[in-house]
Amino acid sequence: MVEEAGKASGLVATSTITHATPAVFASHVASRANEADIAPQLLENDVDVILGGGKKYFPESLLNEAKAKGYQFASNKEDLAKVKKSNKLIGLFAEDGMAPELDRDETDQPILSEMTGSALDVLKNDKDGFFLMVEGSQIDWAGHDNDAAWAMKDSEAFEKAVEKAVEFAKKDGNTLVVVAGDHDTGGMSVGGYGKGDAKLEVLRQVTATGDFMESKLNADRSNVKEIVKQYTNLDLTDAEAGRIKTAKSPSMAINQIVSERAIVGWSSTGHTGTDVPLYAFGPGSDLFRGLHENTDLPVLMGEAMKIKFTPGK
């Protein structure tokens, strides 16, 4: 839609860049699982900036095709920082999804705000304007795992990306920033277990995801107390250690214990029907006042860009 209107476009995500949310903006396939079919469509549909994980879906032949079309390529944080002035950019920073923000220091991957800044640096060169979608993909993944520290850390990373976008919009004066989620995941509550208010200082001391901690357990999980202490500063009781040792999913057991200690409740490991917040800043932001169906948003964004858009057509 925006390419047909002569505008540049970009997709940024911490999942694979061929994952459901980024893919829906620039591809048509029978199933969201067909990520290998989605990757070439991002190039066919002239997405100017492609930043995220999913390197395994971009074979050398496809990357050579991209380079022939003028795309610069980045594979790590340092590459991205060195990108010269360009009108097209592909950055693929992990074979699959990128590392959670909590585990990012174990990698050479950029953070979401850095990818957002690089995308804006490329897209702003189009005099006709641009559309950029930035997803903090793993807030959802953390909700599925009931991993409170992961959810909070990736939310913080997303907030920094929003700050980058709003900073650009304030300087530009002609950019609309819309912030929304497609759904809630996990039904997180601040408080729970009949114990009152959350203890956020517990989460602030967590330095790794439950998945990462599970990867550090030995075969018989006899080192569970040491690993949890190292990455959460919590001293597990024998009963808590036993729960993790016997759990079908040790990471989920770790997450549940951290949540209980932090008094952060969960109602689900799936998506919920809770209304999600909607924020807008800049020209056209008044269009987003009030309560909206999620299918209203692309129509309103089209209206703000003076592009007529009818869902399903």
Q: What is the pLDDT of residues 82-120, one digit of tens each?
A: 997 789 999 999 999 999 999 999 999 999 999 999 999
Distance of alpha carbon 294 from alpha carbon 203, whole angstroms: 31
pLDDT of 238-281, one tens digit each? Answer: 999 999 999 999 999 999 999 999 999 999 999 999 999 999 99
Among the residue ranges 14-28, 132-146, 187-201, 221-235, the one predicted with the least confidence is: 187-201
Please count the other Cβ atoms lying within 10 Å of the Cβ belonging to residue 28.
10
| CA distances for 243 relative to 86, 225, 251, angstroms | 53, 11, 11
- Distance between CA atoms of residues 77 and 91, nearest Å: 9
**What pLDDT band is residue 221 in, cutting at 50, 70 and 90?**
very high
pLDDT of residue 288: 96
- The domain made up of 189-265 has a fold known as Diphtheria Toxin Repressor; domain 2 (1.10.60)
Residue 41 has pLDDT above 90, yes or no: yes
> Helix (H) and strand (E) counts for the chain?
13, 11
Residue 175 CB neighbour total at 10 angstroms: 20
**3 pLDDT exceeds 90?**
no
Instruction: Please answer whether residues 185 and 144 qualify as being in contact, where contact means their C-beta atoms are separated by less than 8 angstroms.
Output: yes
pLDDT value of position 206: 98
Which of 1.10.3720.10, 2.40.37.10, 2.60.40.10, 3.40.720.10 is the CATH number of 8-185+270-304? 3.40.720.10
pLDDT at 312 (0 to 100): 64
Instruction: Reduce the DSSP state of residue 45 to 3 states and report it.
Output: coil
pLDDT tens, position by position, 127-170: 999 999 999 999 999 999 999 999 999 999 999 999 999 999 99
Average pLDDT, the chain: 95
pLDDT, position 313: 61
Name the percent of the chain lying above pLDDT 90: 90
Strand 49-53 and strand 89-92: pairing?
parallel
The whole-model pTM stands at 0.94
What percent of the chain shows pLDDT beyond 70? Answer: 99
**Beta-sheet pairing, 184-185 with 189-190:** unpaired
**CA 308 – CA 299 distance, rounded (Å):** 8
- Structure tokens, 251: 């990471």
Where would I find the H helices in the chain? 20-24, 35-44, 60-68, 77-81, 112-123, 138-144, 148-172, 200-204, 210-215, 224-232, 238-246, 250-262, 296-304
Lowest mean pLDDT among 139-143, 188-192, 217-221, 275-279: 188-192
pLDDT value at position 308?
79
Altogether, the residues listed in the chain come to a count of 313
**What residue ranges do the domains of the chain occupy?**
8-185+270-304, 189-265
